[in-house]
Structure 1
């Protein structure tokens, strides 16, 4: 089968199409004929080699979520799964392929009214947005700032905060055009990447959901209200400075909080329940997925070039 692997860490040119043996599902697994593959920010971070110290090596096949049809099951898996349309989490890799294997506990059936493309646009980003807000102890009436709102996680966070009764939903983004699109999804104030601008925008925020991190993350502590919480749910802009906590300590009397959030810390049944509800909501038009572009699997490098250039609004989806 065709797959895309990281042949050399660094730029998108390090991604290459390769041939791999057709996989077979082991016990507790299913084999999926892939139709759609979500291209996530973590894929780019791994591709750059930023996580090499955590065991990622060249030759790694990126991609964490796929959707398609189950074609075979391993031992201990009910054969009724064969022929069903599903979404699946493949882990920290293994998704940029024509045929994917996944543990049955990481597989969800798709509603008839939800496409494979919409499923991989929502599947991972939706739960990060949901539990990220929960991790921040967000409550109705509070003001929320979503830093880096133009990606799939940010778009879902905007929608969920608005649906959850936020008093204000501000976003940082790179252009007025993107800002207007985010307003259509529930944003009430549009700021530039530094957090400036936005007529009548709140002076401070109760919750900041940060998908960017990077060198400028510490400056956003100054935008928190007393008792405000900043939760980093991503690091597409790289790691923050090693001394970023000094900004919080300098504002000691404002009782600020910082946390990271990863969906890996959420129990499987909770993830399944939220994903199932979000898939139903998206299928019914209550949540909106935003697909930037569909590209064939063989153009994964182009997808990464577009991400690196900051061109993507929503999610790029690879198709087979």
Structure 2
């Protein structure tokens, strides 16, 4: 089967199409013939080598979520899964393949009306958005700023904050056109990437969900209200400065807080329950998925180039 591996950390050209044998599912696992493969910001961060110190090595196959049809199961797995269309979390590796392996507890049947493409656009981003807001102790009536709202994670955070009764949902993005699209998804105020502008936007926010991190992250602490909470749910702009906490300490009397959040800390039954509800909501049209472009698996390099230039609104999906 065809797969895409990181042959060299760095620019997208380090990705290469390779041939691999079709794997056999181990005990407790299933084999899935992929119909759709989500391209996420974490894939780009891994590909750049940002997380090389966390055990990722060249030769790594990126991709964490896929959707398709179960074709085989390992020992201990109910054979009734064979033939079912499912969404699957493959971990932090192994999704950019024609046929993927996933643990049976990490797969979920697709409801009628939800396509494989929609499933990989929503599956991981919806969970991180939901539990990221929960991690920030977001409550109805509070103001929320989503930093880096144009990707699938930001789009889902905007929708969930609006559905949750936020008093205001501000976003940072790169253009007025993107701002208009985000308003149609629930945003009430549009700021530029630095957090400026927005007309009558709030001067401070109770919650900031930060997908970008990077060198400019500390400047957003100044946009927190007293007792405000910032939660970093991604680092697509790279790691923040090592001394980023000093900015918060300088405003000690505002009692602000900062946290990082990974969905890996959420218990599997809780992830499954929320994802099931979100898939059902999307199939009813209550949550909107935004697909930037469908590309063949062999064009993963092009997908990552688009990610790196910041032209993606929503999610790029690869198709085998």
Runs ≥4 residues deviating over 4 A? none
Residue 273 of structure 1, CA deviation: 0.2
How much is the aligned-residue C-alpha RMSD, in angstroms? 0.3
Distance 1:128 1:267 in 2: 13
**Structure 1 position 112, deviation (Å):** 1.4
Q: Which residue of 1 aligns with 2:200?
A: 200
- State the SS of the aligned residue for 2:294: strand
Structure 1 residue 283 displacement after superposition? 0.4
Q: Distance in 1 between matches of 2:52 and 2:262?
A: 19
**TM-score scaled by length of structure 2:** 1.00
| CA distance, structure 2, for counterparts of residue 278 and residue 301 of structure 1 | 30
Deviation at 1:86, TM superposition (A): 0.1
Q: In the alignment, what sits opposite 1:53?
A: 53
- The aligned length equals 320
CA shift, 1:75, in A, is 0.3
Tell me, in whole angstroms, the C-alpha distance in 1 between the residues paired with 2:205 and 2:216: 17
Q: Distance in 1 between matches of 2:307 and 2:288?
A: 21
1:161-176 alignment runs, 5 A limit: 161-176=161-176
* SS of residue matched to 2:238: coil
Match of residue 20 from structure 2: 20
The answer to whether residue 247 in structure 2 is matched with residue 231 in structure 1 is no
Q: Distance in 1 between matches of 2:298 and 2:112?
A: 28
CA offsets per residue over residues 117-164 of structure 1, 9 Å max, x none? Answer: 000000000000000000000000000000000000000000000000
Alignment of 1:65 with 2:65, yes or no, is: yes
Instruction: Give SS of 2:226's match.
Output: strand
Please report how far the alpha carbon of residue 243 of structure 1 lies from its aligned counterpart in structure 2 after TM superposition. 0.4
What residue is the counterpart of 1:242 in the other structure? 242
Match of 2:146 in 1: 146
- 2-structure distance, mates of 1:243, 1:56: 25
Counterparts of 1:266 and 1:312, CA distance in 2: 28
Shift of 1:308: 0.1
Q: Does residue 11 of structure 1 match 2:11?
A: yes
Partner Cα separation in structure 2 for residue 65 and residue 157 of structure 1: 19
Cα distance in 1 for residues equivalent to 2:262 and 2:210: 12
What is the match of residue 136 of structure 1? 136
Where 1:42 maps in the other structure, the secondary structure is helix
Q: 2:180 & 2:255 partners in 1: Cα distance?
A: 34
| Alpha-carbon distance in 2 for matches of 1:93, 1:176 | 35
2:250 matches 1:268: no
**Secondary structure of the corresponding residue to residue 75 of structure 1:** coil
1:247 is displaced (CA, Å) by 0.6
Q: TM-score, normalised by structure 1?
A: 1.00
Residues 280-291 of structure 1: pairs in structure 2 closer than 5 A = 280-291=280-291
Structure 2 counterpart of 1:222: 222
Partner of residue 311, structure 1:
311
| 3-state SS of 1:121 partner | helix
User: CA–CA distance in 1 between the matches of 2:285 and 2:117?
Assistant: 15
Query: Aligned with 2:118: secondary structure?
Result: helix
Q: Deviations over 1:219-260 (max 9, x none)?
A: 000000000000000000000000000111000000000000
Deviation at 1:113, TM superposition (A): 0.7
Query: Unaligned regions of 5+ residues in structure 2, if any?
Result: none
